[in-house]
């Protein structure tokens, strides 16, 4: 294929992927015009021209600096084998190879904050969309909250069925949404074209410097325009950087700028701006169709947030920072099409609770922003380290770029913190709970690994003992999951001790999760016969992959190991946790919570897709 032909082939594919990205990546940031400008105007307390020019200029330049420059320009250039997001960045910085507690804390707390965002986004988005009924049909305003709850219930109830089929429509619907927003913006600008002066950053700086403490407070509301910017980086693995940047620069960013400018223009022109200013841009006869389109757009935005929470949960499980949860693949068309029931129902309870508790999008806006701004701060800190260690930038250049982002992010975070007692504590509380679960689970897993690895027995010594003690060798193949690569699996020791027998062939399998998202199949296995009929297997998976034991066994058989995948017996240890006698174990409260998490997490056999009729559970006491 010639270079010209290849180039012409790539253009349509890039365009199709860009349209697909509209339905997944830009839902959150794309629905922010529904509530951002009216929230900021309520905070300013006035509609004078100087304020309106300043606010619109702040919105536009926040979109440029945070989204276009920081995420599209810098963050998306630092990928972990194509994957982005704060957990992928944390893994890229080598936290699995060496102890880096500060990086781990920043990455995990940033990830935990995303769950808070995931609970608030559906509530505020759907509420703000349906609040258009206050304008189109005032008699129906009492139904806004019940309709919101009904839509949220339906949204979460639909998750187990997957979104593969309707997901194909998300991109075109969001394309229609952005085009509609742009046209509404042009309609508004035509009424007072002087609003285009707000493109000059002078008005943003002038407003901030001359409005006293009020300008600082307003930053918390302005920040709402970039909630969802983190998705450009986090969802990079689904579409690639090219399609996301294409969609942002050619459609999303221009549509947002035009719509915010249009809302500012009708305010300057003296039009009626009570209620939701976004809907005041629309001719009255088209308000109801716009409400329907807005509601669909917010549902798509919410779906993207929920799917992102599922994906991040899987990453955290694979990296060893979260208890095993049952993960269902809802479609074979894409690896990202998964469902995590525990996350879905917890998010549903919190989201509906927030909608009912705050009742209006204006009230909920106070709780919004803290989680996202804090996550962006964490990302900036990790970007600085990546600039130094991955790009090998000089410290002065790294500090200049990351320092600029840090000042911007810190300003927004500090302003949002002023809303702490007006509901801002909600996402922080949610994040703290998620972070605590991650911390306790990891401490417990590490403690079990350390205790299990004490007093290791070399394989050759163990095999000699089998002969010396006359242990019977029975037909078949036993598979033992173990963390110990070069020594005898503890589960196997306990099994032989109590049964006085062992299968003729033994596989000691160690599963490792790499700091990269994907591992090529050719690099998956390390297989060696370290004793007569005793094979040591190390299988490496990326943190975006889910181990599958039957598939792994078939691959092992293809590598010359004389096993029959359907005639295997898997031996799995079931740990019962007790306190150490020497008082050197985990604190009691950590051990208690870890025991509860361990009892309620998914069985390792289910997680690894091991056939239930081929499993033997080995109970054992472990003191930690």
Is residue 279 within 8 Å of 285, Cβ to Cβ?
no
More confident: 79 or 452? 79
Q: Kindly report the number of other CB atoms within 10 A of residue 46's CB atom.
A: 9
Q: Residue 617 pLDDT > 90, yes or no?
A: no
The pTM (predicted TM-score) of the whole model is 0.82
pLDDT at 58: 96
Q: Residue 581 pLDDT > 90, yes or no?
A: no
Which neighbouring-strand residues pair with 577?
Answer: 622
pLDDT band at 7 (very low <50, low <70, confident <90, very high): very low
**Residues, the chain, total?**
624
- Mean pLDDT on 286-309: 89
Percent residues over pLDDT 90 in the chain: 35
pLDDT at 580: 84
pLDDT at 11: 64
Q: Residue 496: in which H helix or E strand, if any? A: helix 490-499
Burial class of residue 31 (count of CB atoms within 10 Å of its CB; 0-12, 13-18, 19+): buried
Q: What is the rounded average pLDDT for all residues in the chain?
A: 86
Domains and CATH numbers, the chain: 3-418 (1.20.1740), 450-623 (no CATH)
Is residue 281 within 8 Å of 263, Cβ to Cβ?
yes
Q: Residue 527 pLDDT > 80, yes or no?
A: yes
- What does the alpha-carbon distance between residue 168 and residue 331 come to, in Å, rounded to a whole number? 13
Is residue 336 within 8 Å of 309, Cβ to Cβ?
no
Q: Sheet containing 525-531: give its strands across.
A: 525-531, 534-541, 501-513, 472-481, 568-578, 615-623
pLDDT tens, position by position, 253-281:
999 999 999 999 999 988 777 778 899 99
pLDDT band at 326 (very low <50, low <70, confident <90, very high): confident
């Amino acid at each position: 294929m010639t270079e010209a032909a290849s180039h012409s082939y790539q253009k349509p594919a890039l365009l199709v992927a860009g349209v697909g990205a509209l339905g997944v990546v830009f839902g959150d940031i794309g629905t922010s015009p529904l509530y951002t400008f009216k929230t900021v105007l309520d905070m300013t307390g006035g509609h004078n021209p100087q304020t309106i020019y300043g606010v619109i200029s702040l919105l536009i330049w926040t979109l440029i600096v945070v989204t276009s420059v920081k995420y599209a320009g810098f963050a998306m250039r630092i990928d972990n084998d194509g994957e982005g997001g704060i957990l992928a960045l944390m893994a890229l910085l080598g936290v699995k190879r060496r102890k880096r507690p500060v990086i781990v804390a920043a990455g995990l707390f940033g990830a935990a904050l995303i769950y808070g965002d995931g609970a608030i986004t559906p509530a505020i988005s759907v509420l703000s969309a349906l609040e258009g009924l206050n304008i189109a049909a005032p008699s129906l305003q009492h139904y806004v909250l019940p309709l919101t709850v009904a839509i949220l219930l339906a949204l979460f109830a639909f998750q187990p069925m997957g979104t593969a089929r309707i997901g194909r429509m998300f991109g075109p619907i969001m394309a229609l949404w952005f085009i509609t927003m742009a046209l509404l913006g042009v309609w508004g600008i035509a009424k007072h074209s002087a609003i285009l002066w707000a493109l000059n950053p002078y008005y943003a700086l002038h407003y901030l410097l001359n409005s006293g403490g009020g300008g600082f407070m307003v930053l918390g509301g302005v920040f709402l325009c970039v909630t969802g910017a983190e998705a450009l980086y986090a969802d990079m693995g689904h579409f690639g950087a090219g399609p996301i940047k294409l969609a942002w620069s050619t459609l999303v960013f221009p549509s947002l700028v035009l719509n915010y400018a249009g809302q500012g223009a009708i305010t300057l022109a003296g039009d009626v701006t009570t209620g939701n200013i976004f809907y005041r841009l629309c001719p009255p006869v088209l308000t109801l169709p716009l409400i329907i389109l807005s509601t669909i757009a917010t549902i798509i935005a919410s779906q993207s947030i929920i799917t992102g929470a599922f994906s991040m949960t899987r990453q955290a499980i694979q990296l060893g920072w979260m208890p095993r949860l049952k993960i269902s693949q809802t479609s074979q068309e894409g690896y990202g099409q998964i469902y995590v029931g525990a996350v879905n129902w917890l998010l549903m309870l919190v989201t509906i609770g927030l909608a009912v508790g705050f009742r209006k999008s204006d009230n909920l806006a106070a709780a919004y922003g803290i989680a996202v701004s804090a996550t962006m701060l964490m990302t900036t800190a990790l970007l600085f380290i990546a600039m130094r260690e991955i790009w090998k930038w000089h410290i002065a250049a790294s500090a200049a770029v990351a320092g600029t982002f840090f000042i911007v992010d810190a300003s927004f975070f500090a302003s949002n913190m002023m809303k702490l007692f007006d509901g801002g504590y909600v996402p922080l509380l949610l994040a703290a709970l998620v972070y605590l679960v991650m911390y306790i689970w990891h401490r417990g897993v590490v403690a079990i690994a350390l205790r299990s690895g004490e007093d290791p027995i070399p394989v050759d010594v163990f095999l000699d003992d089998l002969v010396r003690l006359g242990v019977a060798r029975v037909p078949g193949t036993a598979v033992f999951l173990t963390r110990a690569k070069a020594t005898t699996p503890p589960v196997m020791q306990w099994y032989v001790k109590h049964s006085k027998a062992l299968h003729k062939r033994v596989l000691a399998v160690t599963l490792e999760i790499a700091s990269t998202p994907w591992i090529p199949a050719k690099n998956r296995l390390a297989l060696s016969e370290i004793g007569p009929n005793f094979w040591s297997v190390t299988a490496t998976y990326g943190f975006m992959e889910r181990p599958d034991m039957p598939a792994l066994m078939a691959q092992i058989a293809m590598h010359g190991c004389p096993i029959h995948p359907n005639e295997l017996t898997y031996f799995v240890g079931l740990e019962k946790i007790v306190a150490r006698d020497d008082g050197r174990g985990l604190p009691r409260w950590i051990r208690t919570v870890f025991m509860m998490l361990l009892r309620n997490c998914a069985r390792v056999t289910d997680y690894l897709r091991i056939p239930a009729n081929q499993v033997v559970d080995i109970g054992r006491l472990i003191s930690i």
